[in-house]
Structure 1
Amino acid sequence: MKIALDAMGGDFAPDAVVEGALLATKTLTDEVEIFLIGDEDQIHSLLQKHGYTGSRVKVVHASQVIGMGEHPTKALTQKPDSSIAVGYGMLATKKVDAFCSAGNTGAMLVGAVFSVKQVEGILRPALASFVPKVSGGMAIMLDVGAIADCKPEILEQFGEIGSICAQYLLDIKNPKVGLMNLGEEEGKGTMVTQPAYKLLKENKGINFIGNIEGRDLFNDKADVIVCDGFTGNVVLKLAESIYDILHEKKITDPFFDRFNYEAVGGSPILGVNGNAVIGHGVSSPTAICNMLHLANKMAETHMADKLRKYFSA
């Protein structure tokens, strides 16, 4: 298994990224190789600093970096040798099985569509996140930021994409799909969620259980939570803030500790012809390590291939 990692992406790169990669070598199987992409002098210096002498971490030079505030499309066009562009190039040519970055989110999303392309039949790829349940399990929520304004047909596809992801990444058989709305009744919602409800209800390929409300987010009512990217991103950032507040007040709880972004490490881009994961901009070494584990699970389960097979049928 080969995973490419943008060594220059994130607020604390490359130090935190390299350290996270080295943490991952201790917890991933020996068959996994990590390709650090970025300034080779800086990366080699950090590897030497940490005393790494193994062969599972390799360095791929990239002379350019896309900054966090740069325009995604312009940056990818003007910086073809950036760490993100090089990483996607390796993914597109199948030199690696997955690509991760805690860098510019927009560039990662645009790069995925431009390089590995979206799966034929999928209207728009989704950015997903994992939601902890009080019972101890996890649910998947999509979208969480890729598409702020969704059409009903896109929300329907999110239900399908999320179901496949829940089956193979979370090992949930026949996952329950819920549409995030402002009421449980079928007639509730907006000009988007009302027709989306009908499409999801008529879709025989998923286990749609109807509308869910914000209070259902952390219970067992749904395994797949469907929403537009605006709503999903607000919910995601709210959960992160709850953890931060509790942490500042020195309050610890096993459930709320799972709100920490480090616990999962990243958000998968679902619906493109390759396994790609976007990490938080402030990713720590622990978050980077867990992002690599998520990417490895996506590659092991052939997530991109599963989606391609489903939508080609």
Structure 2
Amino acid sequence: MKIAIDAMGGDFAPQAVIEGTLLASEELPSDVKLILIGKEQVIQELLHTPTLASNNIEIIHAEEVVEMGEHPTKALTQKTKSSIAIGYGMLKAGQVNAFCSAGNTGAMHVGAMFSIKAIEGVMRPCLSSHVPKEDGSYGVILDIGANAECKPDVLEQFAVIGSIYAKHILGIKNPRVGLMNIGEEEQKGTQILQSTHQLLKANSKINFIGNIEGRDVYSDKADVIVCDGYTGNVILKMAESVYDVMHKRGLEDEFFAKFNYEAIGGSPILGVNGNVVIGHGVSSPLAIKNMILLAKKMAESNIYLNIKQALSS
């Protein structure tokens, strides 16, 4: 297995990315190769430091870097030799099994759509995130920012995709799907949510348990939380802020520690022809390590192929 990592992506790249890659390499078997894509000389200088050395790491040179503030489409069009462009090129060619980056989120989205492209039948690829539960397990929430507004049929497809992810990545045999709303009753919420409720209720491919509310997010009520990207992003950022406030006040708790973005490491793009994980722009070495480990799990399960098969049937 080969996992490509954008060495130049993130506010603290390349140092944090390389350190995180080395942390991951220590936990991975020798047959998993980690490929750092970026400015070779810079990477080599860091890897030659006594504390930064590993036998299962390769380097692919990339002359250009897509900066965090650049316009995604324009940057990828003009910077064909950037680490993001090369990473997607390798993924498309089958040279790597997954690609990770904590760089420009928009460029990662655009790169996915124009290189490996959406799986046939997928209306809108989405971003997902793991949701910690009070019992120690995890669920999944989607979308968390890729699609601010969604029609009912798109939300219904998120439910199917999320169920496949929960089954193959989280190991949940019959994932329970909940629709995020302002009340449990079918008639609650916007017209879009009411229509979505009816579609999910009639879909035999999922285990729909009805509407859920904000207070249910971290309970064991649902394994898959379906919402538009606007709502999902607010929920995700609120959770991160809770951790930040508690950390600043010196309050430590095992459950709330999972709200820290570093615990998961990144957000998979689901619905595209390949395994892609986007990390937080401020990713630390620990976050990079967990982003890589998540990418490995996705590659092992062939999650995108499972989604492709489910939608084709």
Name the TM-score, length of structure 1 as normaliser: 0.99
Aligned equivalents of 1:51, 1:186: Cα separation in 2: 57
- Any residues of structure 2 matched to 1:91-170 within 5 Å, and which? 91-170=91-170
3-state SS of paired residue (1:254): coil
Does residue 247 in structure 1 map to residue 231 in structure 2?
A: no
1:211-250 equivalence runs, <5 A: 211-250=211-250
CA distance in 2, matches of 1:118, 1:187: 33
Q: CA deviation at 1:55?
A: 2.7
Q: Per-residue deviation at 1:110?
A: 1.0
Partner of 2:285: 285
**Displacement, 1:51?**
4.4
Q: CA RMSD in A?
A: 0.8
**Structure 1 residue runs without a partner (length 5+):** none
Q: How does 1:32-111 map to 2 (within 5 A)?
A: 32-111=32-111
For residue 50 of structure 1, report the CA deviation from its aligned partner: 4.1
* Aligned partner of residue 130 in structure 1, secondary structure: strand
- Equivalent-residue separation in structure 1 for 2:148 and 2:171 (angstroms): 28
The one-letter amino acid paired with 1:195 is S
Aligned mates of 2:312, 2:291 — CA distance in 1: 29
Rounded Cα–Cα distance in structure 1 between residues aligned with 2:159 and 2:226: 6
State the shift of 1:28 in Å.
1.3
CA distance in 2, matches of 1:53, 1:282: 23
Question: Which letter maps to 1:206?
Answer: I
Equivalent residue letter for 2:89: G
Number of residue-to-residue matches in the alignment: 313
Q: 2:268 maps to which residue?
A: 268
Q: For 1:127 and 1:78, how far apart are their aligned partners in 2?
A: 25
Displacement after TM superposition at 1:312 (Å):
1.3
Distance 1:50 1:229 in 2: 43
Q: 2 CA distance for matches of 1:80 and 1:191?
A: 43
Partners of 2:22 and 2:54 within 8 A in 1: no
Is the contact between residue 178 and residue 222 of structure 2 (CA under 8 Å) also seen in structure 1? yes
TM-aligned CA distance change 1:145 to 1:50, over 3 Å: farther
1:48-105 deviations in Å (ceiling 9; x for gaps):
1244453310000111111111111111111111110100000000000000000011
Deviation digits for residues 213-256 of structure 1 (CA, Å, limit 9, x no counterpart): 00000001100000000000011011000000000001000000
Once residues 188 and 122 of structure 1 are traced to their aligned partners in structure 2, the CA distance between those partners, rounded to angstroms, is: 27
In the alignment, structure 1 residue 174 sits paired with structure 2 residue 174: yes
SS at the partner of 1:277? strand
Deviation at 1:30, TM superposition (A): 1.5
Deviation at 1:191, TM superposition (A): 2.1
Deviation at 1:145, TM superposition (A): 0.5
SS at match of 2:295: helix
**What's 2:13 paired with?**
13
Q: Which residue number in structure 1 is paired with residue 301 of structure 2?
A: 301
Distance in 2 (CA, whole Å) between partners of 1:170 and 1:46 is 35
Deviations 1:253-289 (A, max 9, x none): 0000000100010000000000000000000000000
SS class of match (1:250): coil
Q: 1:243 to 1:92 in 2, by over 3 A?
A: same
**What percentage of residue pairs aligned between the two structures are identical?**
61
SS of the aligned residue for 2:48 comes to: helix
Q: Distance in 2 between matches of 1:106 and 1:225?
A: 24
Which amino acid is 2:46 matched to?
L
CA distance in 2, matches of 1:45, 1:115: 31
Find the counterpart in structure 1 of residue 257 from structure 2.
257
Tell me, in whole angstroms, the C-alpha distance in 2 between the residues paired with 1:102 and 1:52: 20
Q: Aligned to 1:274, what secondary structure does the other structure show? A: coil
CA distance in 1, matches of 2:41, 2:279: 24
**For residues 165-208 of structure 1, what are the alpha-carbon distances to aligned partners after superposition, in whole Å with 9 as ceiling and x for unaligned?**
00010000110000000110000111211111111111000000
One-letter code aligned to 2:159: G
Q: Which amino acid aligns with 1:129?
A: S
Runs of 4 or more consecutive aligned structure 1 residues displaced over 2 Å after TM superposition: 50-55
After superposition, give the CA deviation of every residue in 1:122-148 in whole Å (9 maximum; x if it has no partner): 100010000000011101000000000
TM-score calculated relative to the size of structure 2: 0.99
| Aligned residue in 2 for 1:198 | 198
